A and B are shown apart, each in its own frame.
Chain A
Amino acid sequence: MEFKEAQLDNGLKIIAEVNPDAASMAAGFFTRTGSRDETPKISGVSHFLEHMVFKGTERRTPLDVNLEYDRMGAQYNAFTSEENTVYYAAVLPEFQNSVLDLLCDIMRPALRQEDFDIEKGVIHEEIAMYQDHPQFCVYDNLMTLYFAPHPLGNEILGSVDSIANLTRDEMQDYFDRRYSPTNVTMVGVGNLDFDAFVAKTAAMCNHWKPFTAERKVEPWSGTGKSQVMTDSKLMRQHLGLMSAAPSCQDDTRFIAQVMATIVGDTTGSRLYYALVETALADEAHMTYSPMDGTGSMLTFISTDPAKTAQVRDIAAGELKKFCEEGPTENELTAAKNKIASGATIKGELPMSRLTAVGFDWVYRNEYIPMQQQIDEIYSVTTEQVLELGRSIKLDKTTTLTLGPLESLD
C-alpha cells in the first residue's frame, strides 16, 4: 500500500492509495458540493446534475457514456449527499486509461435541453420511489426538522415543484459556480499506475478553469423539535431520533464511531438488547454521520403503532442511562473488534476503500492508512466515550415519527 498525491496547475488534486496486489482499481471524482450548497429556488439541482453528468459531453452522447462503461465491464455509478457528489467506477487495471478518459470527460457535461427534459421525468420517479420507502421519508424529514434553517436541512432530491420549475440554465449556472477544479478531488485506489493516472488526468482536465467555490460552514446542534407525520396506510410506526455529534474535522470522531456501535449497532448493542431482542421493535439502530463542521447521531426504529410511546421512552431511557454511566469495558472491546474487523474486510475491496480514502482527503486533506485508523479506534477509552456522550448530549434528541398514529401520547 502506498499513498501518492499530485496537483494540477489549475488546483485539481489527485490522490491514490496504490495496491499492486489488488485485482481491480477504482477511481472517482469527489466534488465538494451537495444540497447544502443550494438555494430554495434550485433545490435538488446537485442531485439532478449528478444524473445529467451521465448524459454526455461535446464528444459523447448519453448512450456512448453508458456503453463505454459497460464495454469495460465497469462497476460504476454516482451519489449525491448533503455535501458531496461522487462519480466513481471500478475496473480491471487494463482499463485504467479508458476509464479515466470517460470519467474526466463526463465531468464537463453538455447539459442538452432534450436530455434535461427526459431526465426530469426520471428524477420525478426517484422522488415517487422514495415516497414508498418509510425509512427514507423519516430520514429526509428528520434532517429538515433537525437542521432547518441550517442548509444541511435542505432536501437532497428537492421537491416535486422545485424540480418541475428548475431550468437547464439554472443548472448550468450552478455547475459554473461549484465544479471548479479547486473544489474537486480525483481519487484512485487499488492496482493502478500512478504516473499514468496523473498524466491522463492532467491531459483531460488541465483546461478546466479554476474559480472560487466556497461553502458557508456553521456549527449546529439541532432544534430539539418533535414532529408526528401521519400516514394511515402504513402498518408500522417508523421513528427517527437525531442528536448532535462530532464533525468530520473533529478528533473525537473515532470516539463517536465507537459510541454509535456500543449504543446502536444492529446486533449486540444497548438498543438491540432493549428493543430488538425483546421484539418491541424489529429494527433499532444508530448511525454516526460526521459532516462538514457538524455531525449527527441518527437512531432509526420500526415498531408496532400500539407500542410506539413505550418504545420511544425505552430508547430515550437507554440514551440517558448511557450518558450517565458510559460503556463497560466489555462493550468497548467488542465495539472496537467489530469496527476493526469491518474496516479490514471492506478495505480488501478497492471499491469500498475508495470512499474512505476520498473523504479523509476531502474533509481534512489527509491520508490515514487503514492500520492507523484501526489503531485510533483501539486507543479509545471508556472515559472518553462517557465524556463525549455527555458533552454532545446524546440524549437530547430531535424526534420524528411516521406511521398511522396521529399523536404519540
Chain B
Amino acid sequence: MSNEFCIKEFPNGLTLLGEPMPNVSSVGFNVVIPGGSSRDGDDLRGAASVGAEWLLRGAGSRDSRALNEALDSLGVQHGEHAQAENFGFSATQLSRNLIPSLEIFADIILRPTLQGETFDPCRALIAQDLHGLDDEPARKCNSLLREKFFPAPLGYIPYGTPESLAAMTDTALRDHLVGLFSPHGTIIGVAGKFDWDEVCGAVEKLFGAWNGAALPQLQTTPAKTQTVHITRNSAQTHIALAHRAVISGDEAYYPARLAESVLSRGMGSRLFTEVREKRGLAYHVSSSYASLLKHAGMFTYAGTRPDQAPQTLEVIISELQRLADGITDEELTRAKTQIRSMLVMQGESTSARASSMCSDWMYLGRLRSLDEISTAVTAVTEKDVMTYLERFPADNFTILTIGPEELQSA
C-alpha cells in the first residue's frame, strides 16, 4: 500500500499532484478550483451551478457541440460540479488520451466562450434540477439539512432559488465567473498510467501563464440548531439529522471516522442492527461524515413509514448517544479492518485516487499514503474514540423531516 507521489508547485499558485499506479491502462484526473456555490453571493445564488453547466457550452475555438464531440471522441468520462467551496472537474480516460483531454479542460477552465445565447438553457436546466428536488423527498431532505446545519452560505442548495435564477443575467454571471477563477489554490491531481515529465510539461504549457489572486476570506453566519418539518403526502417520512463533528485536518479525525464506522459501516453496524435488523423500521438507514474546510458534521438519514417515524427517530438518537457509553474491542477491530480494506479497494481505482489526492492537498496541505492512513487507523484506541465523543457529543441536533405529519416528540 505504499504510494509513490509526485508533486510540482507552480509559481502562479497551482499545484500538480501525481500518483503512478501499476497494472492499469486508464488515468484519472481531477481539477479543483477554489470558489463554488458558497461564493455565489445573495444576488447570484445558483451561479456556480449554472456556471459549471455554461463552461461546457463552448471553449477555445470549439462551440458547445464541437466541445462535446471532442471529449466523446476521446472516450473521456467526465463530470463538472459546483461544490460548496470549489469547482470540481473530473475526467477518466485511457492513458493515451490524457494530454488531449487535459488540453480540452484547459480550454474549458481558461477560455470558456460564455456566450449569451447559451446562457438561458443552462439556467433553465438548473431551475429544473431545483424543481426536480421536490419529486425526490429523500434527496431534498438531505440537501435542506446541509443548508440548515452548515453556517450560511456554506450549506446552501447549490441550485439557488427560483427567484435568484429568474433574476440572473448572462452579463452578471460572466463577470462573476471571470473574477472567481484563479490558479491560486487550484489543484490538479492525476492518478493511473502516465508519464510524469510529460504531464508536468503539458500542465506548464497549458496552465503556466494563468494568473489571479487568492480569494478573500469567506464571511459566514453561524447556523442555529433547529427542527424543521416539511409537510408532504409522501409514502415514507424522511428523517435527516446532523450534529457537529471534527474537521478532517484535526488529529481527532481518525477516531471520528472509527466512531462513524462502528455506528454505520456495514450491515453489522449499530444503526443497521438496531433500526433495520432488530426492528424492521427502515430499508435505508445510515450515518456519514462530511467535512468542509472549517466545519464538519455527522449526517444521519432514514426513511420510514409515517406511523413509525417517531420510534425511528428515537432509536437513531439513542444509538448516536449510546456510542459515548463505550465501544467494544471487537467493534474497534472490526471498524479498523473495514477502513483498511476500503482503502485498498479504493486504491485500485484511478478516479478515486485522483480525487483523494486533491482532497488531501486541499484539507491537509499534503498527501497521505495508504500506509500512513492505515498505520494511523491501527493506532487509534478506544480511549481516543471516547475522548473524541466527549469533544463532539451527539447533541444539539439539526433535524429535517419531510412527510405527511410533523413528528411530535423527539
Name A's B-contacting residues (CB within 8 A). Answer: 21-24, 54, 62-63, 65-67, 69-76, 90-92, 118-126, 128-129, 131-134, 233-236, 238, 267-268, 272-273, 276-279, 281-282, 302-304, 330, 333-335, 337-342, 344-345, 348-351
Contact = CB atoms under 8 A, between A and B. Distances in A.
Contacts of B267: 54, 65-66, 69-70, 76
Contacts of A342: 75, 77
A281 B234 CA distance: 24
Contacts of A236: 128, 131-132, 134-135
Interface string B256-288: 000000000111110011001111111110000
B233 interface: yes
Interface in B65-84: 65, 68-69, 71-78
Interface string B141-167: 000000000000000000000000000
A374 to B, nearest CB: 10
A121 B281 contact: yes
A-B pairs with lowest CB-CB distance, top 7: A73-B341, A121-B280, A341-B75, A337-B75, A279-B121, A66-B268, A279-B124
B137 A132 contact: yes
Given A73-B341, A268-B71, A66 B266 contact: yes
Q: For A54, A134, A304, A344, which residue has the most chain B Cβ atoms within 10 angstroms?
A: A344
Given A69-B267, A132-B235, A348 B280 contact: no
Contacts, number: 199
If over half of A's interface residues share one DSSP class (helix, strand or loop), that class is named, otherwise mixed; here it is helix
A24 B77 contact: no
A125 B232 contact: no
Interface string B332-372: 01100111111011011111000000000000000000000
Interface of B: 22-26, 64-65, 68-69, 71-78, 92-94, 97, 120-122, 124-125, 128-129, 131-132, 134-138, 232-236, 238, 265-269, 272-273, 276-284, 303-305, 333-334, 337-342, 344-345, 347-351
Contact of A66 (B120, B277, B337): B277
Contacts of A69: 266-268
A125 B304 CA distance: 6
Contacts of B265: 70
Nearest to B24: A348
8 contacts: A70-B338, A120-B280, A124-B305, A132-B303, A334-B73, A342-B75, A348-B24, A348-B348
Contact of B65 (A24, A122, A273, A351): A273
Contacts of A24: 341, 344-345, 348
Contacts of B129: 282
Contacts of B97: 341
B73 A333 contact: yes
Given A71-B333, A134-B136, A279-B120, 17 more contacts: A23-B344, A63-B268, A70-B265, A73-B341, A75-B341, A75-B342, A92-B344, A118-B280, A119-B280, A235-B131, A277-B64, A281-B128, A302-B128, A338-B77, A341-B76, A342-B77, A348-B26
A233 B135 CA distance: 8
Contacts of B75: 334, 337-342
